[in-house]
Amino acid sequence: MNPSQELTFSCPVAEGEEGKDAGGIFESIESGPSGAEELAFKFALNTINRNRTLLQNTTLTYDIQRINIFDSFEASRKACDQLSLGVAAIFGPSHSSSANAVQSICNALGVPHVQTKWKHQVSDNRDSYFVSLYPDFSSLSRAILDLVHFFKWRTVTVVYDDSTGTGLIRLQELIKAPSRYNIRLKIRQLPTETKDAKPLLKEMKKAKEFHVIFDCGHEMAAWILKQALAMGMMTEYYHYIFTTLDLFALDMEPYRYSGVNMTGFRILNTENSQVSSIIEKWSMERLQAPPKPDSGLLDGFMTTDAALMYDAVHVVAVAVQQSQQITVSSLQCNRHKPWRFGGRFISLIKEAHWDGLTGRVLFNKTNGLRTDFDLDVISLKEDGLEKIGTWDPPSGLNMTESHRSKTSNITDSLANKSLRVSTILEEPYVMFKKSDKPLYGNDRFEGYCIDLLRELSGILGFHYELRLVEDGKYGALDESTGQWNGMVRELMDHKADLAVSPLAITYVREKVIDFSKPYMTLGISILYRKPNGTNPGVFSFLNPLSPDIWMYILLACLGVSCVLFVIARFSPYEWYNPHPCNPDSDVVENNFTLLNSFWFGVGALMQQGSELMPKALSTRIVGGIWWFFTLIIISSYTANLAAFLTVERMESPIDSADDLAKQTKILYGVVEDGATMTFFKKTKISTYDKMWEFMNSRRQSVMVKNVDEGIQRALTSDYAFLMESTTIEFVTQRNCNLTQVGGLIDSRAYGVGTPMGSPYRDKITIAILQLQEEGKLHMMKEKWWRGNGCPEEESKEASALGVQNIGGIFIVLAAGLVLSVFVAVGEVIYKSNQNAQLEKRSFCSAMMDELRVSLKCQRRLKQKPQPPVIVKTEEVINMHTFNDRRLPGKETMA
C-alpha cells in the first residue's frame, strides 16, 4: 500500500438523521499496519454510532488520510482534501512539523484541529482553533519535580529524546529546578539516528548516575530497559522515572525481580469499571490487528495515545450534541474563505466536559490546552506495576501506597539475596577465628559485628559474603583530591552492598553514603598506660604536712619559747624561793630560762610533760594557747598520716584532654583516616583544635595505621591513644597495664553503612531496632567485651605500716641518739675542765675521775667536787646565779 494512499470511509445515513463528517490524518511508516490512534479513531466513531446514547439523531462519518512521517507538505495537501469534502473537525497528525502545517490551514479556514500529542505553545500563540487532549507538559514537569522532591534526590540525570526537536522544551519546569532548589542536574541526549543507547548508559554507569529521568516514547523506553538490563543497570541502586504515559503497557516481566526502582505516570483510569469494559472491547478488536513490530507493548493493551484519541472523538461528539443549526460546508484552501460556524463550534469543544478513559476532560478556554487532569503514580513491584499515588495540578503529589506490615513482610526485598559485605579487622568487632583447621569464606571471622550480621541475616533472610576492605581503612575524604577511601569508597563504587564494622556515623560520611540506625553508642576517650604506684620514701611521715607548715611550726615553737621566757622574767609570780624550808632565805629562783622555755614548747608539741609548770596567769595563758595549737596540729597530722602512709597513690601525669593539650612531652595520636581524626580535623573547640595542630604537625610520629598499632604504642611508650570508648573498654578488660583517662570527648554512634539510596537501609534499621528491643545487642556486647578482668585494686583500708612507710622516724631517732651522745661527751669534757680548775688539778685526772664514777653503774651518788680554799660568806652570797636575786629588806652578810 502506498503510504500516501487516501482511505475514505463513509457510512450510510438513515432518513431523518443528520450526518457530520470528521477527518483523520495519521502517519504511517512504509506500508505498515494501522497505528493505535487510527484504530482508536474508528473504534470511537463506531462506538458512538452504535450506542446512540450520546448522539441519538446524528451519525458521525469520517475520512481517514495517511501520510509519511515528517512530510508536512503531504499533510497540508491531505488536510485540504478533507476540508473540500466538508468536515467538522480534523484529528491529527501527531508529528509536530506535520501538525503545525495542518494547524495553520485550520486556523485560516476556521476548522477545529484536535490533537492528542503534546505540542509546544509559544507565548503569542494564535492557534484559536486548536485543542489538545494530551496533558500540558508544564504540568507534567511539575509532577516529575514533585516526585524528585518526594524521593529526596539531590543529583538527577535527565536523558531526553530530541527526535521531535522539542525535547528540552517539554521539561522547562524541571530544568529550572537547580536555580530554585538544592538539586544538581545533569542533562544527556539519547542518540537520534539509532536505538543503541549502550554507550550512553555506559557513561552513566561509570559516572555513578543512579537517579535518572528518561523523557522518551514507549518504544525507546522499551529499548532502554533491555539495554540497561544487559549492562547490569537494573539493580536496586538505580531509580528511573519515565515521562511516557505508556509505561504501564510495557512488558515488565524481565525486570520484576531485578530490584530496580522504576516510577512513572498513568492517565488511563483503569480502576473505573466502565473504562475497564471499554478497554476490554478494545483489546478484542486490537488483537485482530497484527501488532506493531518492536513497539515493546503488550498485546491488546490500549495505549495512552489510543485512549486520548477515543476521548477526543467523544469530546467532539459532545460539542456536536450541543450544537444547533450548524452545518458543515466544503472549504477550499485556495479561497481562504473560513467556515462560518467554526468559531462557535470550537467554543463548544473548549466548553465540553467529558469523563472518559483518561479521566475528566477540561480545556483552557484561552489556549485549548488540557491543564486539569489526574495522574496515577505507578511503580514497579515484584507483582508488576502498582499504583502508589496520585497527582493533580491543584493538589500536587499524594502518595497513597499502603505500606504493608513491616514486621511481617520485612524480608520481602532481601529474602534469598546475596549481599557483598565489606568489613575491617578490629577487636572485638571483627577478628580472625582461631582454629587448628584451615577456614574459608565467612567462617574465617568472628566477633561482635559477625554476630550482628548473622542476626540480621536471620531476620531478613539474605545471604552474604564477607570481604576485608582492600586498603584497610574506614573511609576519609582527601580534601586535596576530593576522593574517598576505605569502606566508604567501596560503598560509593557499589563494590559492597553493606559495611558492617565499627564505622562511625559522621556528617561528611552521611553526605555520600547512607547509614542505618545506630547499633552502638559511644564516644572518644584516651587510652594510656596505668601509672606505677609511687613507693613511699623513708621520710614519708613528713608528707602529711607541707614543708611550709613544718617551717611555720618550728618558727612558732621558737617564737612561743621566747615570749614565754620574756613574760616569765617580768612576771613577779614566776620567781619563787628555791628552799621552801628556809622562809628567811633572801634568794628567789626562776625556772623559765631560755632553754627551759624552749624545752617547755617542745614537750607540749610532742604531747609530753617537761616538769616545768607556769605559775603566773600570764605564762599560763601562753602555755594554754600553745597547748591548744599543738592539739590541732597533732590531730591534723595524725589524721592525714594514715592516708599518706597506708595508700600508695597512683598519680597519672594526665587526667583529661586539657592536660594533653597543655603539654608536649607525652605524644598522642589517632588512627589515620578514621572518624576520630575527622572529628579533630573539623572541630571548632579550641582545646581539640590545638590538639589537632599538634598531631598534624607531627603526623608521621603520632598517627597510627590501625587500632592494634595504637594500643601497642600506648603500652610500650609514653603515648596516649585517642580512640572509641567501647574499644578502650574491651582493651582494658584484657590488659591491666592500660586504662581509660578522663571522660568522653564527644558522642557518636556506629551504624551499618549502605550505598546512597540503598533500599536495604530501612530494612536493616528495622532489624536492628528489633534486636535492640529483644536485648540481643546487649547480650552480644556482654559476650565479646567481658574478659578475665583485672584484679581489683588493693583495699584502701588501713593496714600495718612497714619500714618503707615510717623508717624515716627511726633514722631521726638514731640521729637524735647520736647527737645526744656527742652532747654528753661535750658535757663531760666541759664539766671535767671546770672541776680541774676548781680543784686545782690536771684536766686528765679530773676526766678520769668522771669516767671512773660514770662506769660504776650501781652508784647513784658521787662526791661533789670541793675547792681547795674556803670561800667567804660574803662571796657565797654574791655568787647567786642569773636565775636568783636577793630578797628585798635583807642586809648584806659580813
3 state SS of 750:
strand
Q: Would you say how long the chain is, in residues?
A: 894
What whole-number distance in Å separates Cα of residue 214 and Cα of residue 167?
A: 11
What whole-number distance in Å separates Cα of residue 309 and Cα of residue 314?
A: 9
What whole-number distance in Å separates Cα of residue 793 and Cα of residue 648?
A: 11
Contact of 388 with 380, CB cutoff 8 Å: no
Q: Is position 509 annotated in a ligand binding site?
A: yes
SS3 readout for 640-657: HHHHHHHCCCCCCCCCCH
Q: Is position 18 annotated in a ligand binding site?
A: no
Helix, strand, coil percent content, the chain, rounded in steps of 5: 40, 20, 40
For residue 435, the one-letter residue type is S
User: Where would I find the beta strands (DSSP E) of 545-592?
Assistant: 587-588
SS3 readout for 709-732: HHHHHHHHCCEEEEEEHHHHHHHH
- Looking at the chain, the number of H-run helices and the number of E-run strands are 28, 33
Q: Is position 716 annotated in a ligand binding site?
A: no
Instruction: Kindly tell me the sign of the dihedral angle through the C-alpha atoms of 408, 412, 418, 420.
Output: negative
DSSP 198-250: HHHHHHHHHTT--EEEEES-HHHHHHHHHHHHHTT--STT-EEEE--TTGGGB
Per-residue exposure over 836-847, b if at least 16 CB sit within 10 Å of its own CB, e if not:
beeeeeeeeebb
Long-range contacts of 147-151 (CB under 8 A, 24+ apart): 147/241, 147/263, 147/377, 147/397, 148/174, 148/177, 148/183, 148/211, 148/213, 148/241, 149/181, 150/397, 150/399, 151/211, 151/239
Residue 134, phi then psi, degrees to nearest 5 = -75, 135
Burial of 527 (0-12, 13-18, 19+ CB in 10 A): buried
User: Grid coordinates representing 313?
Assistant: 472523538
User: Grid coordinates representing 778?
Assistant: 546487649
Annotated binding site: 502, 509, 676, 724
Annotated binding site for L-glutamate: 502, 509, 676, 724
